[in-house]
Amino acid sequence: MGLPVTVYRYTDAGAPQFVNATSSEWINILKKVLVEGYGTKAPLGWTLEFENAAAFKVAFRNTTTDGGSGGYFQFSGANSNNATCLMWASAGMSDLDALIKDVPYRAFTQQSTHRGWEIIGTSRGFYLILHQTNKMTMSDGTGTSSYINFQMYFIGDVESFYANDQSTFTLVSGTNGGNATGNMGVNHNVKYARFYDVDGGNGGVKEYSANDPFTGNNNISSYNLNAETSGIQHILSPLLLTIPYNATDRNGNVAANSMISPMVRAKIPGMYSSCFMGYRDENWPIDLPMNGVMHTLLRSNYAPHLWINTEQWYD
């Protein structure tokens, strides 16, 4: 039985708002969504484990009650307008900045045109999304548009194919390696996540990637179409996190034969790529049922076609 998904948006009644896009405003939003709730919406059920209010640092933990790993998410940043904020994911923490089996942090910088936010998630994981608000269309329509600065990350447990996987809590972004910005919102980019070995061993962190299966459609004239009014069917594919078949684990086995660093590790929860790319000039949000299940379309810098299941994850 999967976990129910809740969608939180800055347009909700009673939702906390950005005024100056400071880190303290982000922390308030995260507290409301993960721990406290707002308006008529209950929180996701995470816990606030550590906080240094003066330093604008917090750490949250996902629940183990619903099958979660108990992983930690640390968030911090300068309390200045349009602050640059930092995010970490780790298997454990003894205090702020004392992370155990962490993955490299990711950073994002806000802009004066970005005053909207959205969080879609469960008690085990969530998408953190920053929205451009001076223009509400799903895409600007060019590969170098301001939607490249549209920020989106997944934080939490992935859906591992291994029942006893000891390293499922991670941060999925659109950049591999290093401690850089790397949001998932740029169209057609590869998604990346880092994991320790399935058995919890310290064989080194391996970086898995998820290639979008539907990236060959370059017919830009079709990107303004609407699939429903055009009678076009969506074919949805999950995004699988993989490493090359010949990558070796700590015992020298290639990934194709490894049970500790396997070639195919997990799915990114709730995220699907559609063969149909369109809706570019329509306004956000676009929420539609597919196969009887509600999905929401993610904005992109070029051709929107990534959807999030907004009903149930972790089946």
Mean pLDDT for each 10-residue chunk of the chain (315 residues)? 95 96 95 98 98 98 96 95 92 97 86 90 96 86 52 94 96 68 58 93 86 70 83 94 96 96 97 91 95 93 88 96
Give the pLDDT score at 217. 57
pLDDT at 256 (0 to 100): 97
Domain range annotation of the chain:
3-313
The amino acid sitting at 50 is: F
- pLDDT at residue 296 in the model: 97
pLDDT for 53: 97
pLDDT at position 267 is 97
Residue 296, beta-bridge partner list: 287, 308
Q: Quote the pLDDT of residue 144.
A: 47
pLDDT of residue 141: 58
Helix/strand/coil percent split, the chain, to 5? 10, 40, 50
The per-residue pLDDT for 146 is 47
Report the pLDDT value the prediction gives residue 147, as an integer from 0 to 100: 47
Please, what's the b/e burial string for 201-240 (b: 16 or more CB within 10 A of its CB; e: otherwise)? eebeebebebebebeeeeeeeebebbbeeeeeebebebbb
DSSP designation for 97:
T
pTM of the predicted protein model:
0.94
